[in-house]
Amino acid sequence: MAKYCCFNCPEKGHDNTRELLDICPTCGESYGFPLTNAPEKIGKYTIERALNRGFYGAVYKVTDNLLGKNYVLKVIPQAIYKLHGKDFYTECKSHAELANNSQHIVDITAAEEHKIIFANGIEIDCYVAIMEYIPGRVLKDILNTNDILPANKIAQIAIDLFRILDVLRLKQKNHNDLHAENIIVADLPSDQRRANEVEGRIRVIAIDIGSLTSENKAGDSPDRIGDVHWVAEYLIKLSERLIKDPDRSTDLNYRLATLLEDRAKLLFPATENQRHPNFDEIIDSIRNCYHQQAHPWEEPLKLLNFNDTYNAQTLDPWFIPSLLVDPNELCLKTNVF
């Protein structure tokens, strides 16, 4: 169930379940009024439409009146930061550092302060983060749709999810809120298609970096799980999409679904009890699985070294011959087998 903090009179805690239409008992406004009573303008930006609400903030698609360019504005009352003793500008700087040189973290272009007048007449002093606008669909909608998802798209989504985890690992950060509404599957224009990818027409990007920290906050609240475990859940859901009808599933769909499910199981144990996954290995295994089934003539099976797989249990069976070493066929000649 959804949970929201009142925009007009914020409070600590995530204990109560509240829907957007519910009324705040303190001020009498609905929790969704920043969306249903969106402002017409914020600074130099014209509001095109309200996108969604998080627990604390609201998000809008806007147009820069001077440049005519679209952006996304994340708006949070300044009282929220005062209540929690947090620094908005430090948070935005951490976001910018994470997004630097990364194609899988939404870019933040500016951080501002505005007194925002909502359509119901309420005025609130807010912090505003200006971010890149990304055309596409949130992962939640893709996972919940009944549309057929081709294997190449599912493979690319899985690969990019691990790239998001790798960015976080390399920069020693935790997103801490990597739920499916905070991940966008971007539709790329033809001049931006990615070369050498399973599906070059999409890119998976993490958004809403407001909970970014160096610490893993999994377990801080009943509904908060770690970044790795979020991705594990998505792999399970993607694998289920591939074999909704096992009797009619193709070899490609079945093998890819099995691989995604196996990799998800590696991620589910508590982080402190497992070896840290090598995301490059997992990405290579997904890519190889897809190409070996979809285009077997393009690339032969290969195992470069023992580190190319997570452990013996995850070694794909078609690689087993690569583990057998018989210099000069000595074993064969002496009838050892």
Asked whether residue 301 carries a pLDDT value surpassing 90, the answer given is no
Asked whether residue 79 carries a pLDDT value surpassing 70, the answer given is yes
Mean pLDDT of the region 278-292 = 88
Q: Would residue 14 count as lying in a domain?
A: no
For the chain, how many structural domains are there in total? 2
Q: Which residue has the tokens 């509240």?
A: 18
Q: With CA atoms as reference, report the closest residue to 43 among 134, 118, 112.
A: 112
In three-state secondary structure terms, 131 is strand
With the C-alpha atoms ordered 138, 144, 147, 153, is the resulting torsion angle positive or negative? positive
**Which residues make Cβ contacts (< 8 Å) with residue 207, sequence separation at least 6?**
72, 106, 131, 134, 182, 183, 184
**Given 132, 151, 181, which residue is the final one in a domain?**
132
Asked whether residue 148 carries a pLDDT value surpassing 90, the answer given is no
Q: Would residue 261 count as lying in a domain?
A: yes
On whether both 154 and 123 belong to a single domain, the answer is no
On whether both 101 and 140 belong to a single domain, the answer is no
The answer to whether 20 touches 1, Cβ cutoff 8 Å, is no
What was the pLDDT predicted at 214?
Answer: 83
Task: Give the confidence band of 22 by pLDDT, cuts at 50, 70, 90.
Answer: very high
Instruction: Please state, in angstroms and rounded to a whole number, the distance separating the CA atoms of residues 204 and 105.
Output: 9
Instruction: Please state, in angstroms and rounded to a whole number, the distance separating the CA atoms of residues 219 and 298.
Output: 45
Task: Give the confidence band of 314 by pLDDT, cuts at 50, 70, 90.
Answer: low
For residue 58, the domain's CATH number is 3.30.200.20
Q: Which of 53-57, 151-155, 277-281 has the lowest mean pLDDT?
A: 277-281
Asked whether residue 308 carries a pLDDT value surpassing 80, the answer given is no
Indicate the DSSP class of residue 90: H
Which is more confidently placed, 214 or 103?
Answer: 103
Instruction: Please state, in angstroms and rounded to a whole number, the distance separating the CA atoms of residues 76 and 205.
Output: 22
Asked whether residue 219 carries a pLDDT value surpassing 60, the answer given is no
Mean pLDDT of the region 147-157 = 92
On whether both 159 and 274 belong to a single domain, the answer is yes
DSSP letters for 132-200: E---EEEHHHHHH--SPPPHHHHHHHHHHHHHHHHHHHHTT-B-S---GGGEEEEEPPGGGPPTTSSST
What was the pLDDT predicted at 291?
Answer: 86
Mean pLDDT of the region 100-104 = 94
What was the pLDDT predicted at 161?
Answer: 97
DSSP letters for 212-257: -BSS--TTSSTT---HHHHHHHHHHHHHHHHTSSGGG--HHHHHHH
On whether both 161 and 259 belong to a single domain, the answer is yes
- Strand 45-53 vs strand 58-64: parallel, antiparallel, or unpaired? antiparallel
What residues make up the domain containing 311?
A: 136-323
On whether both 272 and 201 belong to a single domain, the answer is yes
Q: Would residue 124 count as lying in a domain?
A: yes
Q: What is the pTM of this model?
A: 0.82
Q: Would residue 103 count as lying in a domain?
A: yes
For residue 230, the domain's CATH number is 1.10.510.10
Q: Which residue has the tokens 């493979």?
A: 155
